[in-house]
Amino acid sequence: MEKRKINDVLNVYPIKFQKPLLPVDAENIEIGEVIVKKLKSNGFEVKNRDILVITSKMASIFEGRTFELSKVSPSIKARFFAKIFKKDPKEMQLIFDEGKPLVIIPFKRVVKNKKLWSRLLELSIDHKGMEKALEISRFVFIVNNHAAFLDDAGIDFSNAREGYVTMLPANPCHTAKRVRESVKKLTDKDIAVVITDTVSLLGRMGSQDVAIGYSGIDPITRKSGSADIFGKHHLGGNDCVIDSLAGIAGMMMGQTTEMTPMTLIRGYNYVEEEKDNEKCMDFIAYPKGTSFRSGFLSIVTTLWYHFLNVVTFWMPSK
């Protein structure tokens, strides 16, 4: 496999749109055509080994994944859980359609902790707006899709017309591949594409853009077990490249009024994706069944540690 080199300069360019991207803008036109046009209007020509980082919302619009809530028919089960958890039954149905919720966070109760609420107010530019948003998100359903733990299965009410929501692309890696092939057809340039979404951070304030799909780039470094500068072998060295790129691009794209659904990254000497790679995000995620097992073993081991810590309270720790 090609050896990855250290880069001297990494250039990150936000690609701005002049108006919000709507579903009507995606009718009868390929996403690659829009991308090439927007790059040109921002002063860029596509080059070989460019990296395009695209928000899931932009990708979803071109896949027809914008839904009018009035046309969603909630099941009896969705209505039941929506009533219990204070959600719109139609939103509840869309969550069920996307996957099985793993964890339900009583978000309103959690953030009403005085210390946490005070911190959130420090970070808020509009306290009343935050209160209003909190009423909508009393409970957050975490769904594991595309190797990410997604708030409310990635359903997005923001930057969508009233009464509409945007769902994530059904297969973000296929979407990224379609974008890459479309750009190749239009420009004869070979690029890499990363599709991103925003997730909450465990134990930290704020959120982070992560990759939910990719094409044309090896998603993770493969240096585990290699020797460090002192010759010691270690388990590190598997950097999730696509998440790092997503995080860099996320700072440029923003989440509110920036109208920057795409970022161009140049200067990173990435390793190209293996041909006929069908693993997609399964290559990044833990294999099925291992998350539960590792979680269970970690809980048991932690309880064992705390038990031993109690019975050895008399032993000095220093």
Query: Helix 31-41 to helix 172-187 angle, to the nearest 10 degrees?
Result: 60
Report pLDDT digits (tens) over 7-64. Answer: 678 999 999 998 888 888 888 888 999 999 999 999 999 999 999 999 999 999 999 9
Region 243-254: mean pLDDT is: 93
In this structure, are 203 and 159 located in the same domain? no
The answer to whether 23 touches 61, Cβ cutoff 8 Å, is yes
C-alpha Rg value of the chain to the nearest Å: 22
Residue 223 pLDDT: 84
3-state secondary structure of 51: strand
In this structure, are 119 and 250 located in the same domain? no
In this structure, are 183 and 248 located in the same domain? yes
Confidence of residue 136 (pLDDT cuts 50, 70, 90): confident
Q: Would the pLDDT of 151 be above 80?
A: yes
The answer to whether 72 touches 93, Cβ cutoff 8 Å, is yes
In this structure, are 49 and 198 located in the same domain? yes
In this structure, are 37 and 94 located in the same domain? no
| CA distances for 96 relative to 60, 79, 88, 152, angstroms | 18, 11, 13, 10
In this structure, are 50 and 79 located in the same domain? no
The last residue of one of the domains, among 167, 194, 219, is 167
Domain that includes residue 54, residue range: 1-64+169-285
**Which CATH number goes with the domain that contains 49?**
3.30.1330.100
Confidence of residue 6 (pLDDT cuts 50, 70, 90): low
Q: Would the pLDDT of 4 be above 60?
A: no
The answer to whether 125 touches 78, Cβ cutoff 8 Å, is no
Q: Would the pLDDT of 3 be above 70?
A: no
Number of domains in the chain: 3
Report pLDDT digits (tens) over 169-217. Answer: 999 999 999 999 999 999 999 999 999 999 988 888 888 999 999 999 9
Mean of pLDDT over the chain? 89
In this structure, are 280 and 219 located in the same domain? yes
In this structure, are 89 and 23 located in the same domain? no
Residue 152 pLDDT: 92
In this structure, are 214 and 309 located in the same domain? no
Cα separation, 269 vs 5, in Å, equals: 6
The answer to whether 238 touches 275, Cβ cutoff 8 Å, is no
Confidence of residue 125 (pLDDT cuts 50, 70, 90): confident
Order of strands across the sheet with 51-55? 11-15, 262-266, 51-55, 192-200, 207-215
Cα separation, 78 vs 80, in Å, equals: 5
Residue 51: strand pairing partners: 192, 265
Residue 171 pLDDT: 93
Residue with tokens 């853009």: 209
SS3 content of the chain, % helix, strand, coil (to 5): 40, 20, 40
Which long-range contacts (C-beta less than 8 Å, at least 24 apart) are formed by 40-45?
42/13, 42/15, 42/16, 44/13, 44/15, 44/264, 45/187
Report pLDDT digits (tens) over 84-122. Answer: 998 999 999 999 999 999 999 998 888 888 888 888 888
In this structure, are 55 and 185 located in the same domain? yes
Region 148-174: mean pLDDT is: 88
The last residue of one of the domains, among 125, 148, 167, is 167
In this structure, are 72 and 83 located in the same domain? yes
Q: Which residue has the higher pLDDT, 270 or 314?
A: 270
DSSP conformation letters of 75-110: -HHHHHHHHHTT--HHHHHHHHHH--EEEEE-HHHH
Q: What is the pTM of this model?
A: 0.88
Phi, psi for residue 75 in degrees, rounded to 5: -75, 170
Residue 1 pLDDT: 46
In this structure, are 72 and 139 located in the same domain? yes
Query: Helix 127-136 to helix 114-123 angle, to the nearest 10 degrees?
Result: 120
The last residue of one of the domains, among 167, 183, 199, is 167
